[in-house]
Amino acid sequence: MSSETGVRDAFAKAWEKACSLNDAVFVVTANRRYKVGPIRFMGPCKERLVILIHGTIVAPEEPSEWDPKSPRLWLLFGGLAGARIQGGGVIDGSGSKWWANSCKIDRSKPCKAAPTAVTIDSCSGVRVRGLHIQNAQQMHLTVSRSRAVRLDKMAITAPGDSPNTDGIHVAESTAVTITSCRIGTGDDCISISNASFAVKMRGIVCDPGHGISIGSLGQGGSYAAVEGVSLDNARIARAQNGVRIKTWQGGAGYVRNVRFSNVLVDDVDHPIIIDQFYCDQKTPCANRSTNVQVSNVVYRNITGTSRRAEAIKFACSDAVPCSDIVLSNINLLREDGSEVQTVCNCAMGFDYEPVRPAADCLRNSECNGGGDKKVGGEEPKALPLHTEL
């Protein structure tokens, strides 16, 4: 393995040449390991560029030696149109020392950002296929500010206790398709955040992780918009959640037109959950009277086992209730075969048989129309305050 600086210089020189030619192929040679620090592969480039990653790219292990000019990025592909990134190679973030310094592992340490292993930013028409990304310092693969990106046959792995290691994160992007991916990490297998539209997921295996999530949204009173998300054909196992929507109190905006269908859950805490009281910080979150509106969410053909009695949980805001929630052909049980429950707070919609556990509360859930009022005689904080720390 060559020196880190030498490899970075060689990569940069080869990239400059490939980017300047039509039909160029940038190759990371098989059966070799390349240790490299933060590097940016920037476009625009000439047409039909192919990036073939056959070998192994490894990040430096020591956080103290990381380039302070790139605290959030390791491998960045930016400003590309129509490029192909593929091959059977490995991208290894060497994340173990980063995880040990995380405030979620050692609460005496301050919370600091860590690099994302691979970032696709400000791209269009890019296809990523067949790569194995592992042990990221924080998130594994982020698609941001991009359009018409397709991720196919990806393998993404990290230990189940590695903090904040989302598998695939989508932000501010439109028309993202994720297919036939196997993801097992210490956080969300797939997370979809603000300003993301027309995101399609199909053929996903999530084991282990925190499930497949929309959010979190609305932190710090921010406005968020997510629309047109679909998941079809997934297996989620040994996970904190199955399919989840999570928002912070105090935010604004909307999540709407979401479809989760044909999902098998196995040994999952909450197979179906909407949490409008999400709180991922050391101190309790204050109750607020606004929230991101969640509407038109359909759950169809979801079966399997729940670790907890509350298999389906709709913890929605008094001020901005969840509406048009639809359950159809749901069959969930405890691992020992005993019955589970559906719990609703300010969630309204319908369940079409067969639905097990029954979700009559969707038809009967009532709200008082204000975040400072009581629900069922109790202050709302009794149900909603959640944390992942």
Q: Which helix (DSSP H) or strand (DSSP E) does residue 98 occupy?
A: helix 96-100
Identify whether the C-beta of residue 240 lies closer than 8 Å to the C-beta of residue 272.
Answer: no
Q: Which helix (DSSP H) or strand (DSSP E) does residue 13 occupy?
A: helix 4-19
Phi/psi for 16 (5° steps) reads -60, -40
Establish whether 187 is a catalytic residue.
yes
Strands (DSSP E) found in 23-103? 25-28, 33-35, 39-42, 50-53, 56-58, 73-78, 84-86, 90-92
Catalytic hit among 92, 121, 166, 187: 187
Compute the distance between CA of residue 108 and CA of residue 125 in angstroms, rounded to an integer.
44
Helix (H, G, I), strand (E, B), or coil: what is residue 2? coil
Establish whether 92 is a catalytic residue.
no
Both tokens assigned to 159 = 């230990």
Catalytic hit among 210, 275, 318, 351: 210
Diameter over CA atoms, the chain: 69
Compute the distance between CA of residue 383 and CA of residue 29 in angstroms, rounded to an integer.
54
Compute the distance between CA of residue 301 and CA of residue 355 in angstroms, rounded to an integer.
9
Identify whether the C-beta of residue 208 lies closer than 8 Å to the C-beta of residue 184.
Answer: yes
Short-list 43, 42, 34, 41, CA closest to 5: 34
Compute the distance between CA of residue 159 and CA of residue 134 in angstroms, rounded to an integer.
9
Short-list 265, 254, 261, 330, CA closest to 290: 254
Identify whether the C-beta of residue 1 lies closer than 8 Å to the C-beta of residue 29.
Answer: no
Residue 8 Ramachandran class (φ > 0 left, ψ -120 to 50 alpha, else beta) = alpha
Both tokens assigned to 195 = 């300003």
Q: List all residues 6 or more positions away from 343 whose beta carbon is below 8 Å from its beta carbon.
A: 310, 312, 313, 314, 315, 361
Question: Which amino acids are annotated catalytic?
Answer: 187, 210
